[in-house]
């Protein structure tokens, strides 16, 4: 490939400067933050080179000064209702699984009680209405042309799924901001809630004997699937990637990558290389992946992350052996191994964790202090 061919490919693949174009983790979180009321209306979907950015930056500075003068603090805005609004929009758009970690960590700082059950409850009652990458066709710049986040906010608000009276940084309620924003109704990106892409939202919380404290899956597009197959067990990501590249993973396998959790990683690396390799080999819908690590927001398919307790603390995922039969039941919200409690008990008695990567320094301190992914992987 010549440099000119590479440049042409890049110019077609990337719509412009800024964050990744689809509804991946960056755009998922900027959307959530706008809906929570912590950024100005329209902020999330403006492209990096949009000339309106200059005016927005000025208004952001003015807003900060006004809030300081009036004594308005983040905790005045980050209420329980604000978090429920954010979760509703995330699941309605098929956003990143990382939103679960980030929103729980923010809620901890805001002193708002938020649990995995809140995500699953809201997702079960919220339709999936966005046709955005990675589970659809459009990107954030497309949404911006039709009204931005206010467009999906309008759909959900009219359906009675948002707390419209939640306060935002500009002094207006969420409903006022949504109704003040011009939107284009005739557009292809956001569906009507009464004619959704799916009747339930894009995230699900799983439990079972492999994830007694919970696990997270992005279910946009495959809400009703059940997967069952033999475990292909790998201690950390690189070994799994090499096996996939060698063609050793077959249709129907359940790839298990462990010791990548908050303590085991340490820090929960995202399994983007592995998920990309599976999709590249045409296995994206026929091979499930289960990990105590996390995923890039660009990942899609039957990918289960944040399995808790993690392997490093003796969680059941750390007790699996090659060939154990695993069942991933998405509609039933279950993740189980076909093992009896007696078998788990015997393996637990013989289990020893792997040697930690770091025994001194900041990462060793982090691994010692960090909590479970089911609690947002916070350190204090």
Residue of 39, 296, 299, 372 marked catalytic: 296
Q: Tally the C-alpha atoms within 13 A of residue 369's C-alpha that lie toward its C-beta.
A: 9
What angle, rounded to 10 degrees, do the helices at 272-280 and 237-245 form?
Answer: 10
Give the Å distances, CA to CA, from 198 to 83, 91, 192. 23, 11, 11
Distances in Å between the alpha carbon of 176 and those of 153, 164, 172?
A: 11, 8, 6
Report in angstroms the alpha-carbon separations of 213 from 17, 89, 105, 259, 347.
Answer: 39, 25, 17, 16, 19
What are the two backbone dihedrals, phi and then psi, of residue 172, each rounded to the nearest 5 degrees? -100, 165
Annotated catalytic, 30? no
Q: Is the dihedral of CA 312, 299, 100, 61 positive or negative?
A: positive
Which residues is 334 bridged to in the sheet? 207, 329
- CB-neighbour burial class of residue 302 (10 A; exposed 0-12, middle 13-18, buried 19+): buried
Compute the distance between CA of residue 167 and CA of residue 218 in angstroms, rounded to an integer.
29
Bridge partners (DSSP) listed for residue 108: none
Residues marked active site are found at 296
């Amino acid at each position: 490939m010549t440099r000119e061919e590479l440049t042409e490919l890049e110019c077609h693949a990337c719509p412009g400067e800024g964050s990744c174009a689809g509804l991946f983790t960056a755009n998922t979180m900027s959307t959530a933050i706008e809906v929570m009321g912590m950024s100005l209306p329209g902020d999330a979907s403006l492209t990096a080179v949009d000339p309106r950015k200059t005016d927005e930056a000025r208004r952001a500075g003015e807003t900060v000064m006004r809030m300081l003068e009036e004594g308005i603090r983040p905790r005045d805005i980050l209420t329980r209702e604000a978090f429920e609004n954010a979760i509703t929009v995330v699941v309605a758009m098929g956003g990143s699984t990382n939103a679960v970690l980030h929103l729980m960590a923010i809620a901890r700082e805001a002193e708002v009680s938020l649990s995995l059950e809140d995500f699953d409850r809201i997702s079960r009652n919220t339709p999936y209405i966005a046709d955005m990458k990675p589970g659809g066709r459009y990107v954030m710049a497309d949404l911006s042309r039709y009204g931005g986040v206010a467009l999906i906010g309008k759909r959900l608000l009219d359906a009675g799924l948002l707390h419209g009276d939640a306060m935002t940084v500009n002094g207006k309620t969420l409903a006022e901001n949504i109704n003040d924003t011009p939107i284009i109704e005739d557009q292809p990106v956001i569906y009507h809630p009464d004619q959704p892409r799916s009747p339930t939202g894009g995230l699900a919380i799983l439990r079972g004997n492999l994830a007694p404290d919970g696990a997270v899956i992005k279910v946009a597009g495959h809400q009703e699937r059940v997967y069952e197959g033999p475990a292909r067990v790998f201690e950390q990501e690189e070994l799994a990637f090499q096996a996939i590249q060698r063609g050793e993973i077959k249709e129907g396998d359940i790839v298990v990558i462990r010791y990548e959790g908050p303590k085991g990683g340490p820090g929960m690396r995202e399994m983007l290389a592995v998920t990309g390799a599976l999709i590249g080999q045409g296995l994206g819908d026929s091979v499930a992946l289960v990990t105590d690590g996390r995923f890039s927001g660009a990942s899609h398919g039957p990918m289960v992350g944040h399995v808790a307790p993690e392997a490093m603390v003796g969680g059941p995922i750390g007790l699996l052996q090659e060939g154990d039969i695993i069942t991933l039941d998405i509609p039933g919200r279950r993740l189980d191994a076909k093992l009896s409690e007696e078998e788990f008990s015997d393996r637990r008695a013989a289990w020893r964790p792997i040697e930690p990567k770091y025994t001194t320094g900041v990462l060793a301190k982090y691994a010692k202090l960090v909590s479970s992914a089911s609690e947002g992987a916070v350190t204090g």
